[in-house]
Chain A
Amino acid sequence: MKLNTGELVTGALVISALSGFVLAYQYEPATPFISTVAMEATIPFGPFWRSLHFWASQLFLLLLFFHIYKTISWPLDHQRTTHKRHWTVIALTVPMAIFALFTGYVLRYDATGQDACMIAEHLLLKVPLMGHALNRFLIAASDEGINRVYAVHILLTFLLWGFGTWYHLKRVTLKWPAFMSLLIALCAFCALIEAPIDLPGQNVALIKGPWFFLGVQELLRYLPPFIAGVLYPMIPIAAITALPWLPKPRVGLWITGLWGLSYGYLTLVASLR
């Protein structure tokens, strides 16, 4: 049985989305932390569903990165305008996927989730001109609690599903063997391994953000928030989405690769703290 990465990405997204809808039946954005803890402590199969949602989403993002890595040379060989447009639209699902994972991380609303939410809000407000509007659309937790984070988290499911299947799946399919092997492997894993959550009231000296933001967190110690938290993470997104349109697409690959190395280094430094 040969599994292609596109199928696995889709499979992980389907499992993540479905388990997310299951969680939504018991999740309350008005009391986010309490309802998350209730799932862990009192609701039958709560830990399993939370774990399945958490790990399927992590896997989805990792597989998405791997899928991009496997297909990164595609825009070098496909220079028709429709192909270029397709690549750019699909590349934009990467920041969407990262934000979907990030909002999920916020929604459990433990100490790290709350701080991550505030950091994201402050970073968005640093964006010139559009900062306020972006914050009102995506987070606005200081004024609205996490209602909007929750709304965006669900909206992103639809967007990722829509772009990933309706728009993109014209070329790649999801067959039963790929989906079932992923589902069984994830269920087995998640029946044993729980999704993390911080207990309240710990006076910790260092909070670490989600693994995919550790590099940004490290850089925020040294550089102004707009550069470290907005401009720097935009570099690979800009490079990848613009890849087929660049006069020399390989330059885009180099920029992305070098950025990846720098981010890997920063992540390593942050994780060793």
Chain B
Amino acid sequence: MTRRQLLTKAGKWAVGLGLFFPLYSFIMKKRYRPPIQIQIKEALKPGQFLMEKEFALFQTTKGPLAVSRRCTHLGCIVNYHETGKIFLCPCHQSKFHWDGRYISGPAKKDLYRLKVRPLEGGKGFLVEIPRGKA
């Protein structure tokens, strides 16, 4: 390889790498986004539940319980089957109890529980979904 060829090659690499870093930094930067807060303006009695797109909200005697509907295997939305009180993942057939505890299938982990608190006055709930979990 002649000196000219070497310099040309080195120049190409320098331009390539010089552009790669700004591209990498631009793309890798994760902007801060607050957790998604969802207000449920509906009162639930113990034993009742509400099915939202991202979570299921159950009212128990011990208080409200919000279970994420994201399967802990690969993130599909699990469906609730009221007859057996189970969640079933339509993608790879993992099963969970109503409160998110793992039963069977490839997921191996319980469904995530989300932060939930009653709204002031007892007329509903505030559920918090952290970013990256929805």
Which A residues lie at the B interface, using CB under 8 A? 111, 114-115, 118-119, 121-123, 133, 136-137, 142-143, 203-207, 209, 217, 220-222, 225, 229
Q: How far is the CB of A122 from chain B (nearest CB, A)?
A: 4
Residues in A neighbouring B93, C-beta threshold 8 A:
206, 221
CB A111 to nearest CB in B, in angstroms, measures 7
Given A137-B27, A143-B33: A217 and B92 interface contact (C-beta under 8 Å): yes
Contact of B77 among A114, A121, A221, A225 (CB under 8 A): A114
Given A137-B27, A142-B131, A220-B106, A204 and B90 contact (CB-CB distance below 8 Å)? yes
Residue B85 at the chain A interface, CB threshold 8 Å: no
Between A and B, how many residue pairs show CB distances below 8 Å?
64
Q: Given the complex of chains A and B, what is the CA–CA distance between A143 and B34 in angstroms?
A: 11
Is chain A's binding surface mostly helix, strand, loop or mixed? helix
Q: How near does chain B come to A41, taking the closest CB pair, in angstroms? A: 21
Query: With A115-B76, A118-B75 in contact, is A220–B90 under 8 Å at CB?
Result: no
Choose one: B30, B88, B105, B132; the contact of A205 (CB below 8 Å).
Answer: B88
CB distance from A226 to the nearest CB of B (A): 11
Tell me whether B28 is interfacial, beta carbon within 8 Å: yes
Q: Is the CB of A206 within 8 A of B76?
A: no
The 26 listed contacts between A and B (C-beta, < 8 Å) are A111-B77, A114-B77, A122-B74, A122-B75, A123-B74, A136-B28, A142-B75, A142-B131, A142-B132, A143-B33, A143-B132, A203-B79, A203-B80, A205-B79, A206-B90, A209-B91, A217-B92, A220-B73, A220-B74, A220-B91, A220-B92, A221-B105, A221-B106, A225-B73, A225-B74, A229-B74
* B33-75 Cβ-contact flags toward A at 8 Å (1 or 0): 1000000000000000000000000000000000000100111
- Which of B33, B75, B132, B133 has most chain A Cβ within 10 Å? B75
Chain B residues near A209 (CB-CB < 8 A): 91
Which B residues are CB-close (under 8 A) to A229? 74
13 additional A-B residue pairs with CB within 8 Å, beyond A204-B90, A205-B88: A111-B77, A115-B77, A118-B74, A119-B74, A122-B73, A142-B75, A142-B134, A143-B33, A203-B81, A217-B92, A220-B73, A221-B93, A225-B73
Interface residue range, chain B: 20 to 34
The listed residue (A115, A133, A137) touching B90 by CB distance below 8 A is A115
With a 10 A CB-CB cut-off, give which of B76, B77, B105, B133 has the most chain A CB atoms.
B76
The residues of B with any CB-CB pair to A shorter than 8 Å are: 24, 27-28, 30, 33, 70, 73-77, 79-81, 88, 90-93, 105-106, 131-134
Set of chain A residues within 8 Å of B81, measured between Cβ atoms: 203
6 cross-chain pairs, A with B, having the tightest CB-CB distances, nearest first: A118-B75, A115-B76, A207-B90, A119-B74, A122-B74, A142-B132
